[in-house]
Chains A and B, each alone.
Chain A
Amino acid sequence: MLNVLWLQSGGCGGCSMSLLCADSADFPAMLSANGIALLWHPALSLASGDELLALLDDCLAGRQRLDALCVEGALLRGPNGSGRFHLLAGTGRPMTEWVQRLAAVAQHVVAVGSCAAWGGVSATGPNPTEACGLQYEDEHRGGLLGADFVARGGLPVVNVAGCPTHPGWVTDTLMALAAGALGPDDLDPLGRPRFYADQLVHHGCTRNEFYEFKASAEKPGDLGCMMEHAGCKGTQAHADCNTRLWNGEGSCTRGGYACISCTEPGFQDPGHPFHTTPKLAGIPIGLPTDMPKAWFVALASLSKSATPKRVKHNATADHRVVAPALRRTRLK
Chain B
Amino acid sequence: MSSTRLVVGPFNRVEGDLELRLQVAGGRVERAEVNAPMYRGFETMLLGRAPRDALVIVPRICGICSVSQSVAAAHALADAAGIAPPPNGLHATNLLLACENLADHLSHFYLFFSPDFTRPVYAGRPWHAEAQRRWAAAAGPDAGAHTRAALAARQRWFELVGTLGGKWPHTHSLEPGGSARAIDAAERLRLLARLREFQAFLETTLFGAPLDEVAALPDEAALAAWQARDPLRGDLRLFLTIAADLGLDALGPGPGRYLSHGAYPLADGGHAFARGVWDAAAGALLPLDVAAVTEDVSHAWLADGGLAARHPAQGLTLPEPDKPGAYTWNKAPRLAGQVVETGAIARQLAAGQPLLRAAVARCGGTVYTRVLARLLELARVVPLMADWLMAIRPREPFCLPAPLPDGATGTGLTEAARGALGHWLRVEHGRIAGYQIVAPTSWNFSPRDAAGTPGALEAALVGAPVQPGEATPVAVQHIVRSFDPCMVCTVH
Bound complex: CA A253 to CA B165 (Å): 10
Partner of A26, one of B111, B152, B175, B488: B152
Would you give the shortest CB distance from A72 to chain B, in whole angstroms? Answer: 9
Q: Which of A88, A126, A220, A254 contacts B44 (CB 8 A)?
A: A126
Q: Does B220 contact A (CB under 8 A)?
A: no
Q: Which of B137, B151, B182 contacts A46 (CB 8 A)?
A: B137
Q: Is the CB of A76 within 8 A of B9?
A: no
A-B pairs under 8 A by CB, number? 279
Q: Are B17 and A88 in contact (CB under 8 A)?
A: yes
In chain B between 162 and 196, which residues have their CB closer than 8 angstroms to a CB of chain A? 162-163, 165-173, 175, 177-182, 184
Of chain A, the residue at the smallest CB distance from B187 is: A249
Interface size on B, residues (CB 8 A): 90
- Stretch from A34-42, A149-157, A291-299 forming part of the interface with B: A34-42
Q: Which of A119-159 contact B (CB under 8 A)?
A: 121-122, 124-126, 128-129, 131
On chain A, the residues within 8 Å of B161 by CB distance are 247, 250
Query: Beyond A86-B17, A257-B173, is A28–B148 a contact (Cβ under 8 Å)?
Result: yes
Contact B12 A125 (CB under 8 A): no
Asked whether A164 is an interface residue with its Cβ less than 8 Å from the other chain, the reply is yes
Q: Which of B40, B138, B159, B184 contacts A248 (CB 8 A)?
A: B159
* A163 B182 Cβ-Cβ under 8 A: no
Query: Closest residue to B319 on the A side, CB-wise?
Result: A79
Residue A17 lies at the interface, judged by CB distance under 8 Å to chain B: yes
Residue contact B62 to A28, C-beta cutoff 8 Å = no
Q: How far is the CB of B198 from chain A (nearest CB, A)?
A: 13
Q: How far is the CA of A260 from the CA of B56 in the complex (A)?
A: 9
B165 → chain A closest CB, angstroms: 5
From A10, A89, A252, A262, contact of B166 by CB (8 A): A252
Q: Indicate if B30 sits at the interface (CB-CB under 8 A).
A: no
Q: When the two chains form their complex, are residues B180 and A256 in contact, meaning their CB atoms are under 8 A apart? A: yes
| B241 beta carbon closer than 8 Å to chain A | no
B-binding segment of A49-57, A189-197, A280-288, A300-308: A49-57
CB distance from A54 to the nearest CB of B (A): 10
Please report whether the interface of chain A is mostly helix, strand, loop or mixed according to DSSP.
loop
* Residue among A13, A163, A249 having the largest count of chain B Cβ atoms under 10 Å: A13
Across the interface, name the chain A residue whose C-beta is closest to B180. Answer: A256
- Choose from A85, A125, A220 the contact partner of B175 (Cβ within 8 Å): A220
Q: Which residue of A lies closest to B194 (CB)?
A: A248
A246 at the interface (CB under 8 A from B): yes
Most buried by B among A10, A40, A124, A252: A124
Interchain CA distance A22-B148 in the complex, whole Å: 13
0/1 interface trace, chain B 240-261, chain A, CB 8 Å (1 if under): 0000000000000000000000
Ranked nearest first, the 7 interchain pairs of A and B with the lowest CB-CB distance are A255-B166, A14-B63, A89-B9, A247-B162, A90-B9, A250-B162, A248-B159
A-B contact pairs, 25 of them (CB 8 A): A9-B38, A12-B61, A13-B16, A14-B63, A18-B63, A27-B138, A27-B151, A45-B13, A45-B137, A46-B136, A89-B9, A125-B45, A125-B46, A126-B44, A128-B41, A164-B63, A248-B158, A248-B163, A249-B159, A250-B165, A252-B167, A255-B171, A257-B172, A274-B50, A318-B397
